[in-house]
Structure 1
């Protein structure tokens, strides 16, 4: 690669990594401790392979299609209006799930930080939601800088935790497991590995260097996997079964503050993305878009707070299995259509057949079923 290609490759890969690594990572140690670190390790590796496969299909779809589109645009082109509807539903449902999860997470974090217990988590979560609604109403452009440093902050947080607590690892904590919780990590880890939505943007960045897309997708998938494994290794190795749902709560005030900032930037990025989608794609007014992005999640948060089942990791899990699973299945179906109806010759072609589609789809359907059954217990 020459200098220009290296720069574009770095930017494209950074976008992919930045989309993948969000505050959802804070829930991985808890589900890893619940089922067992080795069980979670298997989930991380296997789901990363599955999602990389789907990402490569999404990349091929982008390469086979002239023009720039979001996933919903590709879905409409290859699957019709119903495909677009389900793609948009998955996007909105996934973002809502994440935002509500962050209301849980920030509320509990502030409560523990200020009062040394989680008794005021609901009230503080609502206050945080209104604070975010105020910021998003006041102006988007001035807040973009927080979004830009968000990923760097998360990577810094993970790196510091690994360096500080690595020497406190106890091997016995890593070898423990609970077979009754074997399905618990699926949704949270799936959520943490999702990066479908970034691929159209990555394709745009590499428009003049399309031969780099495949390499960028593979590199962008490997980096989060390495960070997630190290993060889970250190926190579970240090805290074992006492690992809280929000990993930073177990590591002291400084890390709680860093965790809050991590969730703040992730909330901000998702909120702005959804508001942009509603304004520019759905043609909603600014007031209506703002209300749907900020006030509706607070109302939903207050409603589901009455049900003991819901929590920070449960909301991440629900978002992962439903939004992630549905989007993945749509991409698999689009890949078949794009191979026949695409209007451009791609720089790479990944084989696909109905066996692959059914096999991979069953994985996501299984995740949805286990999540629904868990909620009904």
Structure 2
């Protein structure tokens, strides 16, 4: 396996998670072309930010995770803010996956979502136990997860491509142009993959820029194809979880996708508490699992358990803060970096502000529309 292929697989596998299951719903509301425009704009913004993050890594002699780079270039407060953004995104995703798994299991067994609360609770107990005991075969959830996702996409393409009705793709509602932003932003987030990519390419660092560009393009193409097939083939409104509209085989694929995504994120958060904040394994595990269930129960109690809204809010808040911190870090790294990088992306203060303003505006609209 070539280093480029291994690095691209790692990055694409990190980016593409269960967030893909929510894209068709929000795109169907705004219209396909508006959804694709959202994807292209977000992909372009995050490509630039990821290239900046890659350059930060190449300008730094020692390897770090996001919090480590933030501490090095922005100090303790930068580290804490980066951790908050990362943890907020992870907790949001874990809560959304409890909602999604509850609905999927309920629909799989009973053809309705009436029992989603009970299945969500059961799923939390199961994944909490697996996260604690650290089953080695399952800790590599992302590797298995990307295989499941590609099988899901290929299967949907085979079974539904000939059912696409072009008229479903021509509808557009400009007044809802902002609706897909949060979920699509969440689906494109993969900042944590960059340090791992650079470790894979430690003897071929010159390939870093190429890998980031290829991974971003592959992800964009997959999202557009998946969305076109699901939206184009459905005459009825798409549910918040796309797989619920496609039959039980695809519901099962969706269950596996959320399972592996939940496990990978929970494990990453446990490791962050353990290694970045020096917590014991038990305490790190408790910090990771203690929030999702009570928030999940509260949302159900008030009838606010929405897979899409949780992903959207998590995406815009986490993505905006992390991107802003990276834009601050690259400016410092260009001045204070300890090695010459294999590539350098020009820095523009105007462009950096424009990116932050776009993401912040998307965050405000996403949060405003959720209440």
- Tell me the TM-score normalized by structure 2: 0.97
- 1:180 Cα deviation (Å)? 3.4
**Corresponding position of 1:284:** 279
Aligned equivalents of 1:138 and 1:54: distance in 2? 36
- 1:282 Cα deviation (Å)? 1.2
**Corresponding position of 2:22:** 27
**Corresponding position of 1:3:** none
Deviations 1:77-96 (A, max 9, x none): 11111111111001111110
Structure 2 gaps of 5+ residues are none
Aligned equivalents of 2:368 and 2:134: distance in 1? 42
Contact 1:133–1:295 (8 Å) recurs in 2: no
Contact 2:102–2:118 (8 Å) recurs in 1: yes
Paired residue total: 371
Greater Cα shift, 99-108 or 272-281: 272-281
Aligned equivalents of 1:240 and 1:52: distance in 2? 34
Q: CA RMSD in A?
A: 1.3
Contact 1:107–1:125 (8 Å) recurs in 2: yes
**Corresponding position of 1:186:** 181
**Corresponding position of 1:304:** 299
Contact 1:33–1:241 (8 Å) recurs in 2: no
Aligned equivalents of 2:47 and 2:305: distance in 1? 29
Contact 2:99–2:305 (8 Å) recurs in 1: no
Contact 2:186–2:311 (8 Å) recurs in 1: yes
- 1:119 Cα deviation (Å)? 1.2
DSSP 3-state at the match of 1:305: helix
**Corresponding position of 1:349:** 344
1:128 equivalent to 2:123? Answer yes
1:44 equivalent to 2:39? Answer yes
Aligned equivalents of 1:89 and 1:304: distance in 2? 22
Residues 21, 147 of structure 1: alpha-carbon distance in 2 compared, 3 angstrom cutoff:
closer
**Corresponding position of 2:164:** 169
Contact 1:132–1:294 (8 Å) recurs in 2: no
Which of 86, 99, 104 pairs up with 2:94?
99
- 1:356 Cα deviation (Å)? 1.1
Greater Cα shift, 97-106 or 133-142: 133-142
Matches within 5 A, 1:115-264: 115-240=110-235, 242-264=237-259
- Tell me the TM-score normalized by structure 1: 0.96
DSSP 3-state at the match of 1:242: coil
Aligned equivalents of 2:348 and 2:36: distance in 1? 29
Contact 1:173–1:241 (8 Å) recurs in 2: no
Contact 2:18–2:257 (8 Å) recurs in 1: yes
Which of 302, 310, 318 pairs up with 2:313?
318
Contact 1:309–1:375 (8 Å) recurs in 2: no
Aligned equivalents of 1:175 and 1:307: distance in 2? 36
Aligned equivalents of 1:351 and 1:148: distance in 2? 34
Greater Cα shift, 133-142 or 107-116: 133-142
Contact 1:16–1:199 (8 Å) recurs in 2: yes
Aligned equivalents of 2:209 and 2:134: distance in 1? 36
Contact 1:48–1:193 (8 Å) recurs in 2: yes
Aligned equivalents of 1:24 and 1:173: distance in 2? 22
Contact 1:54–1:328 (8 Å) recurs in 2: yes
1:60 equivalent to 2:34? Answer no
Residues 146, 198 of structure 1: alpha-carbon distance in 2 compared, 3 angstrom cutoff:
closer
Deviations 1:201-254 (A, max 9, x none): 111111111110000000111111111000000000011451110000001011
